Amino acid sequence: MSRSRRRSSDASISLTPMIDIMTVLLAVFMVTTPILTAGIDLDLPRAGRSALTGNDHAISVSVDSAGRYYLGEMQLAADNVVKRAVAMRGENPQLTIMINGDRHADYGAVMVMMGKLKDAGFQRVGLRTQLDK
């Protein structure tokens, strides 16, 4: 007396949970993207009409108008910037460092950073400027 039961299986995928997840991810990315692209507000000096190329793998060291040093967006003492840059060079021996000095920054503060990086053995250290239009 066995009865065979037939179950009707629904093989379709419910898109509602997937759409909910994508909506949440979209909202998260919309909120976090402006935070990631915000940088240190610097007024770079103007120089030249053409840009240098080949610095796609450069790290950025910034000196603001008050003479504070930044590696990326993290404020550090000058010696700590150099220590972290040396640690990064271990992963990439051809590391290029671009120093962004604010137009109103003390020239000595920019040159101190450049000198410390040169003393640490960095051969590829440059100064970033704004293109003159």
Q: Over the stretch 2-33, which tens digit does the pLDDT of each residue have?
A: 555 666 666 777 888 888 899 999 888 888 77
Give the distance, in angstroms, between the CA of residue 31 and the centroid of all CA atoms in the same chain: 17
Distance CA 113, CA 109 (A): 6
- pTM to 2 decimals? 0.57
The strand pair at 74-76 and 125-128 is best described as unpaired
97: how many CB neighbours lie within 10 A of its CB? 25
More confident residue, 83 or 45: 83
